[in-house]
Structure 1
Amino acid sequence: MIEYPFLRKGATIGITAPSSGVKPALHPMLRGACERIEKKGYKVVCGETVWTQEKAKSAHAKKRANEWMDMMQNEKIDLIIPPWGGELSIEILEELDFAKINKKWILGYSDTSVLLLAITLNTGIATAHGTNFVDIRGEYVDETTAMWETVLSTQPGAAVIQYSSRKYQKEWQHDNPSPCVFHLTEETYWKTITNRPVNLQGRLLGGCIDVIRHLIGTPYGRVRDFRQTHLNGEPIIWYLENCELSTTDLRRSLVQMKLAGWFDHCSGILFGRSAANKPIDGYTAEDVYQDLAQELQIPIVYDIDCGHVPPQITFINGALAEVKVNNGKGIVIQHFKP
């Protein structure tokens, strides 16, 4: 069974950097995010790691892990959100004590998804793939991103519905700040391999494929054990997003996941929009999706609201989901079923 945390009003949010911290030049941005979220009625507690960054990490692995575990075990902290992702959160996995991880929400994406997936697979506690902390520092938040609060405040046993965004951000414009952080200019259109409507049901698992693929073959990536221990025979819906992989690297990663059994008893796969997906010798991301759909004989949806081309839906690892896609629009209903 799956256990779901609950975000209460006036909760305390812990900010720690299990991957990358924030360099001094960007500290005002982090402080702005803290001020903005406190105006919403939350209390914010920042760890030491969020203020430091050197050699592609916020601190050495033990310090990052210790601060993470301290926040996990601190009963006054209700939710943990890293400032953003990074590169090397995988280093702290062997330093964590999964038996002492308490039931509280963890929210984030990118490199954070390594921790999200590992924690859900190894504990059965639901985790939240969605916005990073610095991305909610704006004067206002777009309606898709803003759903993180509603989703995390859903009672166990209840359901929450989210819709595909109206527009998405084509590229980051850090030199042109926006009141809502994102520059949402492009029309969102969810696509299916068959160009026909899709209706999926299953338990959600996923994250940034660049990094979660490295859990394969480790004690932290036992998808088959998780399926047998925590699911009630329900299939899995994978949601995946590509940060930096070429199409051939994406293909290799998906084949590895298939060979490792991650796609066994899978009802469908959702792929987020990507600014990567660089074609190799004419081999495009659409070709990758077509090949995978033919091999697995399952529906595949792509260009959804997930990952490094914002905004993004808040996906709950472990939740029982219904995903409906028709004429470019998507609906995601998540049931917080044990």
Structure 2
Amino acid sequence: MNELIKPKALKSGDTIALISISGGRGGDADMIARFEEGKRRLESLYKVNVIATPNALQGNDNIYQHPEARGADLMWALKNKDINGIICIMGGDDSYRVFPFIDINVIHDNPKVFMGYSDIASWTTLFAVAGVMSYYGPNLLTPIAQPIKLDDYTMEAIKKCLFSTDTIGEIKPCDSYTKIEWRNVTEDEISWTKNTGYKLLQGRGKVQGRLFGGCGGPIRQIMGTEYFPTPEFFNDCILFFEVGSPYGSLLAGLHDLRELDAAGLFKNANGLITGHLNEEEEKMLLKFLKYEANREDLVVLENVDFAHRTPMTVIPVGAMAEIDCDRISFSIIESGVC
């Protein structure tokens, strides 16, 4: 991957636009209070101004039925000189439907902070194709507006990646984690699990490369289209993917890996980081790498905090990173913004 254009760092007083670029539940009656809480937290914690894009709160049904409105919102936010950054309200499952309504040159010519996760992986891929760094990280409804408060790990990750021009440095594992919580619950109802830290599945030495990845499903939806990179794009990358058992199916996880491999992602990659894997998922991944991808040499680091759980770090797509197998560590060796 070639070096991508870095957006300017966010700062106190900047304006952030919240966008329903995928799902639209932020505007539904049962979620509007959560939307307002997330907006308030961003304003309070980071001293920024927060607005919604024109169609962001139209509701899930309307957002689904009008992908052109979602596209118009992104174009509006990028072209608007008063907006400094864009945060996705939530993920979903059909972002690819919006792509025909996007002018990729507008993304390239107006580099701004753009952050989200899950289905937003298709958007971070499109931004990379446009030559602009984007950020696989927290959405507004989860985890920014998670019940009780925004956890310290996620809060600091956002600050370090989006509000500072310093090198991000080592990304340490969280101390404890919990599931994504959509209900309005009390603190006593949230169960935290002590984290065991990173695990090296295979590899040796140190490897470096530019970061690419996210959630496999949305990325697979745009494979074979003009919106997906060519195989050469992935040369020397460190990939980050939620591999395992999507929708509870180990076979579906294997199919994900095979499709990524067929698209050329593993052939010349320098490393792979994953979320938490159970024993069966680890065996499946190692077997795939050995016999199908022919990459027993690929460095694989497990249990990094970018997957569908709380807390989350922020991964700048296109940034240079390093995996140190001796220290079992993961570092981003440049700043996320300029």
Q: What TM-score bracket applies, with the shorter chain setting the length?
A: 0.7 to 0.9
Q: How has the CA–CA distance of structure 1 residues 182 and 197 changed in structure 2, closer, same or farther, with 3 Å as cutoff?
A: farther
Is the counterpart of residue 287 in structure 1 residue 280 in structure 2? Answer: no
Distance 1:183 1:11 in 2: 35
Q: How has the CA–CA distance of structure 1 residues 265 and 64 changed in structure 2, closer, same or farther, with 3 Å as cutoff?
A: same
- How far off is 1:171 after superposition? 6.0
Give matches, 1:63-78, under 5 Å: 63-78=69-84
Does the 8 Å CA contact 1:324/1:331 hold for their aligned counterparts? yes
Is the counterpart of residue 145 in structure 1 residue 154 in structure 2? Answer: yes
Give matches, 1:1-338, under 5 Å: 1-5=3-7, 6-22=9-25, 23-40=28-45, 41-55=47-61, 57-101=63-107, 102-120=110-128, 122-134=129-141, 135-137=143-145, 140-146=149-155, 147-155=157-165, 158-161=166-169, 162-170=171-179, 172=181, 174-178=183-187, 183-194=191-202, 199-224=206-231, 226=233, 235-242=236-243, 243-244=246-247, 246-273=249-276, 284-294=280-290, 295-297=294-296, 298-324=298-324, 330-336=329-335
- How far off is 1:126 after superposition? 0.5
Does the 8 Å CA contact 2:198/2:301 hold for their aligned counterparts? yes
- How far off is 1:125 after superposition? 0.7
Gapped regions of structure 1 (runs ≥ 5): 228-233, 278-282
Distance 1:302 1:198 in 2: 16
Match of 1:231 in 2: none
Does the 8 Å CA contact 1:4/1:336 hold for their aligned counterparts? no
Does the 8 Å CA contact 2:211/2:318 hold for their aligned counterparts? yes
Indicate the SS of the match to 1:15: strand
- How far off is 1:107 after superposition? 0.7
- How far off is 1:218 after superposition? 0.9
Gapped regions of structure 2 (runs ≥ 5): none
Indicate the SS of the match to 2:31: helix
Structure 2: which amino acid aligns with 1:296?
R
Q: How has the CA–CA distance of structure 1 residues 264 and 56 changed in structure 2, closer, same or farther, with 3 Å as cutoff?
A: farther
Distance 1:24 1:315 in 2: 32
Distance 1:57 1:192 in 2: 41
Cα RMSD for the two superposed structures: 2.7
CA deviation string 1:137-169 (max 9, x = no partner): 3664333211112111232xx521221111111
After superposing on structure 2, the runs of 4+ consecutive aligned residues of structure 1 that deviate more than 6 Å are none
Percent identity reads 23
Does the 8 Å CA contact 2:121/2:215 hold for their aligned counterparts? yes
